[in-house]
């Protein structure tokens, strides 16, 4: 009878030796030790115990226990080995090398134009200007009419306009309509002084060159109060240049014409002529125009709700991209919107 047990043990060990995968090991275990629902071969052998006579039973029982223990021990050892091998196979096949450096996460940042607008806004905020935004899509009336530019006025040629399908609705060609909106909204019916800047995008149906884009930012400025003179405008612009460009922020005022200011000026910042870039940007003059400006026309003040006999004010419309070009030595205004990472990543 003991032969049965010896054969069982030998066969089981041989088979275990051949089981190379977790699945094969599990099958082996199921075959010899069974599961909750079915008996395995070891249990079957044990069951023969009851059919044996006295002294044989004792020897059989002892041997059966030995076999059971030997097989259990062999199983545990084999299972450990196979699991280890499985893991190693998975590691090399799955090529997960935890020591490899990770892929760098590229972080976003503010567009140079936005950084620049914030910087300009900060300078004016320090000088007591509030920051206000007015809409990009404007009415013809706001963009032109209320700024003293009648429908057939030849000065309209100064702004090549993008029209929409809705009659009387356009993309603003400058931030100046914000003058009317801020006077009406914050002037309390022409009774309170205001001092604000209005940064934002403008659109012009224009030839794109190194100096001018068809989409660009402007920073409109407006100050309305009693006894405001051209000297205040000059003071504000000079102080802005000093804070923005430092000691070498030399600027000049040139007389000009705009329908909504009287008198009108243009403000230039000095670049010099010592490089080809400067010659090109300044059209050979050494000066780069950064802003239109002037004393607000009485008609415009009236349209904003103020009595021009009592109130006066100055306004300006600055090109912040031009300011940034001066500040960072940027050659071409088109760089701002061409989405070239080599440019953008420098800021």
Under the binding rule (CB under 6 A), the answer on residue 294 touching ligand DAH is: yes
Under the binding rule (CB under 6 A), the answer on residue 176 touching ligand DAH is: yes
The answer to whether the CB of 108 falls within 8 A of the CB of 102 is no
- Count of positions on this chain that bind ligand DAH (CB under 6 A): 12
Q: What whole-number distance in Å separates Cα of residue 239 and Cα of residue 124?
A: 9
Here the tokens at position 162 are 């993008």
Q: Which of 198, 228, 293, 333 binds ligand DAH (CB under 6 A)?
A: 293
3-state SS assignment for residue 274:
coil
> Between 46 and 222, whose beta carbon lies closer to ligand DAH?
222
Under the binding rule (CB under 6 A), the answer on residue 216 touching ligand DAH is: no
Q: What whole-number distance in Å separates Cα of residue 122 and Cα of residue 196?
A: 12
Under the binding rule (CB under 6 A), the answer on residue 315 touching ligand DAH is: yes
Under the binding rule (CB under 6 A), the answer on residue 60 touching ligand DAH is: no
> Between 78 and 297, whose beta carbon lies closer to ligand DAH?
297
Shortest Cβ 331–ligand DAH spacing (Å): 23
Under the binding rule (CB under 6 A), the answer on residue 312 touching ligand DAH is: no
Shortest Cβ 273–ligand DAH spacing (Å): 25
> Between 46 and 197, whose beta carbon lies closer to ligand DAH?
197
Shortest Cβ 229–ligand DAH spacing (Å): 14
> Between 116 and 175, whose beta carbon lies closer to ligand DAH?
175
> Between 5 and 300, whose beta carbon lies closer to ligand DAH?
300
> Between 16 and 147, whose beta carbon lies closer to ligand DAH?
147
Shortest Cβ 96–ligand DAH spacing (Å): 59
Under the binding rule (CB under 6 A), the answer on residue 261 touching ligand DAH is: yes
Under the binding rule (CB under 6 A), the answer on residue 178 touching ligand DAH is: no
User: Which contiguous run of DSSP H or E holds residue 287?
Assistant: strand 287-296
Shortest Cβ 104–ligand DAH spacing (Å): 42
Of residues 156, 200, 192, the one with CA closest to residue 176: 200
> Between 29 and 143, whose beta carbon lies closer to ligand DAH?
143
Q: What whole-number distance in Å separates Cα of residue 307 and Cα of residue 179?
A: 15
The answer to whether the CB of 157 falls within 8 A of the CB of 184 is no
CA angle 268, 335, 281 (to 5 degrees): 30
Q: Which of 316, 322, 333, 335 binds ligand DAH (CB under 6 A)?
A: 316
Q: 269 Cβ partners below 8 Å, 6+ apart?
A: 241, 245, 249, 250, 251, 287, 288, 290, 322, 323, 326
Here the tokens at position 173 are 């060609």
Q: Which of 199, 259, 292, 313 binds ligand DAH (CB under 6 A)?
A: 292
Q: What whole-number distance in Å separates Cα of residue 159 and Cα of residue 204?
A: 7
Shortest Cβ 320–ligand DAH spacing (Å): 12
CA angle 150, 190, 186 (to 5 degrees): 95
Q: 144 Cβ partners below 8 Å, 6+ apart?
A: 150, 151, 153, 156, 159
Shortest Cβ 295–ligand DAH spacing (Å): 8
Q: What whole-number distance in Å separates Cα of residue 135 and Cα of residue 27?
A: 75
Q: Evaluate the CA torsion angle 244, 267, 317, 218 in order and state its sign.
A: negative
Shortest Cβ 169–ligand DAH spacing (Å): 19
Binding site for ligand DAH (CB under 6 A): 174, 176, 220, 258, 261, 264, 292-294, 315-317
């Amino acid at each position: 009878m003991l032969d049965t047990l010896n054969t069982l043990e030998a066969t089981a060990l041989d088979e275990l030796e051949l089981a190379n995968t977790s699945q094969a090991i599990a099958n082996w275990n199921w075959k010899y030790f069974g599961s909750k629902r079915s008996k395995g071969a070891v249990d079957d052998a044990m069951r023969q115990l009851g059919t044996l006579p006295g002294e044989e039973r004792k020897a059989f029982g002892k041997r059966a226990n030995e076999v059971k223990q030997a097989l259990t021990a062999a199983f545990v050892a084999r299972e450990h080995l196979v699991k280890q091998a499985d893991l190693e196979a998975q590691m090399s096949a799955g090529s997960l090398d935890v020591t490899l450096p990770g892929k760098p996460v590229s972080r976003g940042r503010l567009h140079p134009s936005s950084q620049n607008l914030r910087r300009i806004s900060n300078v004016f905020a320090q000088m007591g200007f509030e920051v206000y935004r007015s809409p990009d899509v404007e009415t013809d009336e706001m963009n032109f009419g209320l700024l003293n530019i009648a429908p057939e006025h030849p000065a309209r040629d100064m702004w090549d306009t993008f029209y929409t399908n809705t009659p009387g609705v356009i993309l603003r060609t400058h931030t100046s309509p914000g003058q009317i909106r801020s006077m009406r909204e914050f002037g309390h019916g022409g009774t309170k002084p205001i001092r604000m800047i209005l940064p934002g995008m403008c659109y012009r149906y224009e030839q794109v060159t190194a100096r001018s884009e068809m989409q660009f930012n402007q920073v409109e400025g407006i100050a309305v109060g009693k006894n405001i003179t051209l000297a205040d405008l000059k003071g504000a612009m000079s102080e802005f240049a000093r804070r923005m460009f430092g000691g070498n922020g030399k600027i000049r005022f040139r007389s000009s014409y705009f329908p909504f200011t009287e008198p009108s000026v243009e403000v230039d910042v000095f670049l010099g002529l010592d490089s080809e870039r400067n010659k090109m940007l300044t059209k050979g003059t050494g000066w780069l125009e950064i802003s239109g400006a002037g004393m607000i026309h009485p008609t415009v003040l009236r349209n904003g709700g103020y009595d021009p006999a009592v109130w006066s004010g100055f306004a300006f419309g600055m090109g912040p991209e031009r300011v940034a070009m001066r500040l960072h030595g940027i050659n071409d205004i088109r760089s701002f919107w061409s989405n070239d990472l080599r440019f953008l990543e420098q800021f």
